[in-house]
Amino acid sequence: MDTKKPSSPSVRARAPSVVPVHDALLDNDAWTRAIVETAVDGIITIDEGGLIEYFNPAAERMFGYKAAEVHGKNIKLLMPSPDREAHDRYIADYRKTGKAKIIGIGREVTGRRKDGSTFPMHLAVSEVTLGGRRIFTGIIHDITAQRKAQQEKDRLLTDLNKRNIELTCLYRMGESTRSRELMADIFNDVVRLIRPAFSQPEATCARVTFDGEVYVDSDFRTTEHRISADIIASGRKRGEVEVFFRGERPTLEIGPFLEEERDLIDAVARGIGETVERREAEAKVIQASKLASIGELAAGVGHEINNPVNAIMNCADLLVKNLDEAPKNRQLAQLIRSEADRIANIVSNLLTFSRQDREHHSPARLCDIVEGVLSLTSKKIAKSHISLLVDVPETLPKVKCRSEQIQQVLMNLIINAMHALDERYPGMDPDKLLAISAHQIGDDGRPFLRLTIEDHGSGIAPSNLERIFDPFFTTKGRDKGTGLGLSVSDGIVKDHGGSILVESEVGRFARFHVDLPLDNGWALKSEAMTPGV
């Protein structure tokens, strides 16, 4: 019997699963280095003296230095002033007191690249002791993109707030134009509303000039820093809106004012111009309505007067026939007949002048138009001791027009001339002269009839020449004129395809030329040159 124990089946031995400590540390170091070398954020380590010991690739990209260039250099190389000058003191204070300002906290700071440029970054610093040495590790995140995004957001919010302020200014200006009756009140509101709409209202003041009148806000004074916009109404400059800057402001490429502030002033000036145009158009409509009402009234009165005047004329004719043997009574009857004829002539001209509803132009002689107006004004001219000279030949061609409207133009010009003469010569004077003349002219080959009304009165100031055709502009007192006569006259003449020209010298004369075209659709006839036709 075999006393030997049976042999155990053979078993293959497995390699042990435990890695030696040294190898594990090497593997762990390689793993850590791989992470640090590929990190997106910059990682820098310095010793307790501030000298750089490690500089990862991300830090190289951020600062523009290679690791070899900064190794052993003081970390303040990567800092702009004044942080650069303060860093060594900060390190010394920390080593002495142990009081950290950034370690373990993290904050936004500024980095300095190799080329000297700077960029914003978030810096987190940690401290570790290895082998009895203090090592500081900084993790750096470039926040340039975030900073730009925040700045853009802030800019948009600022712009939005600014636009709200500007819209509020324009909205309140619109409220003023709707609620205020006088343009002067609107202008005062505008200069008051502009200041709060500017970025530095405490250093801003405004001025509005319109038709020679000036409106300013409180504490107004002019400076060299100014922006302005013209007020344009009916195609003509009537004034301007100005803003002056009185304070200190960083120099901008466009000057001390922002672009949106310039846009606001343009919008304000444009709004004023539109308001003026609208109000003047409304005034013309109202005036036309009033003139139409006056015309209807004059027509009614004229017809009512005609009946008793005709009766007086008939009675006077009977008296003349039956008073052959009483010369004195016959003379009185003839005087009654003559005065009745004059009344009838005045009524006839008044009816012609009051007709504003004729739709069609018709051929007319200027001499008849002038005669009709003078029949209404000659007595008043004589009462003012004005010498009247009339030179309107009957041989002039007829002009196609609305006679009653041209009469209205002539009437307005004669009344203005009388006021100017009375202002210069309150009493009698040999130079107190009013002249009315007409002749044919050619302008660029076109035939015109020129009707000229000239007075030797007080004249028109040069500053007023461009404004005399503006509605409601007048140099007369409140009880002597509305300022609509010349505006209406200008509109009538322009509707006829003509124009009114003005010449004047202050203290010497004023001369108005009314030019009416002869080729406005009515064919001139040869018989038009014949007197009385």
Per-residue pLDDT of the chain (533 residues; tens, 9 = 90+): 444 444 444 444 444 444 444 454 445 677 778 888 889 999 999 988 889 999 999 999 999 999 999 999 999 999 998 888 887 777 777 777 777 667 777 888 999 999 999 999 999 988 888 878 888 899 999 999 998 988 888 787 767 766 676 777 888 888 888 888 888 899 999 988 888 888 788 888 999 999 888 999 878 888 888 889 999 987 888 899 999 988 765 555 445 677 778 888 899 999 999 998 888 888 777 766 666 666 677 677 777 787 788 888 888 887 777 766 667 777 787 888 888 887 877 776 666 555 544 446 788 899 999 998 998 888 889 999 999 999 999 999 999 888 888 988 999 899 889 988 998 999 899 999 999 999 998 866 788 999 999 999 988 887 777 777 766 556 655 445 545 667 778 878 888 888 899 998 888 899 999 999 987 654 344 334 333 33
Start and end residues for every CATH 3.30.565.10 domain found in the chain: 359-529
Residue 485: which region, alpha, beta or left (left: phi > 0; alpha: psi -120 to 50)? alpha
Report DSSP state, residue 324: T
In sequence order, the β-bridge partners of residue 120 are: 110
In the sheet that holds 118-130, the strands lie side by side as 52-55, 42-47, 133-142, 118-130, 107-112
* Spatial distance between the Cα atoms of 266 and 171, rounded to a whole number of angstroms: 15
CB 271 within 8 A of CB 170: yes
Start and end residues for every CATH 3.30.450.40 domain found in the chain: 147-248+256-280
Question: Which pairs from 49-56 meet CB under 8 Å and 24+ separation?
Answer: 49/74, 49/91, 50/74, 50/75, 50/76, 50/87, 50/88, 50/91, 51/75, 52/77, 53/135
pTM of the full predicted structure? 0.43
- The CATH code of domain 24-142 reads 3.30.450.20
Helices 403-424 and 327-354: crossing angle in degrees, nearest 10, is: 110
* Spatial distance between the Cα atoms of 354 and 414, rounded to a whole number of angstroms: 17
* Spatial distance between the Cα atoms of 438 and 516, rounded to a whole number of angstroms: 11
Start and end residues for every CATH 3.30.450.20 domain found in the chain: 24-142
* Spatial distance between the Cα atoms of 482 and 292, rounded to a whole number of angstroms: 17
CB 74 within 8 A of CB 50: yes
| Residue owning tokens 């002038």 | 370
275 token code pair: 């308001």
Alpha carbon distances (Å) from 104 to 98, 120, 137, 181? 12, 19, 10, 70
For domain 147-248+256-280, the CATH architecture is 2-Layer Sandwich (3.30)
Closest among 48, 106, 96, 113 to 74, alpha carbons compared: 48
* Spatial distance between the Cα atoms of 422 and 385, rounded to a whole number of angstroms: 9
CB 215 within 8 A of CB 239: no
* Spatial distance between the Cα atoms of 115 and 306, rounded to a whole number of angstroms: 104
- The CATH code of domain 359-529 reads 3.30.565.10
* Spatial distance between the Cα atoms of 478 and 168, rounded to a whole number of angstroms: 37
* Spatial distance between the Cα atoms of 265 and 170, rounded to a whole number of angstroms: 10
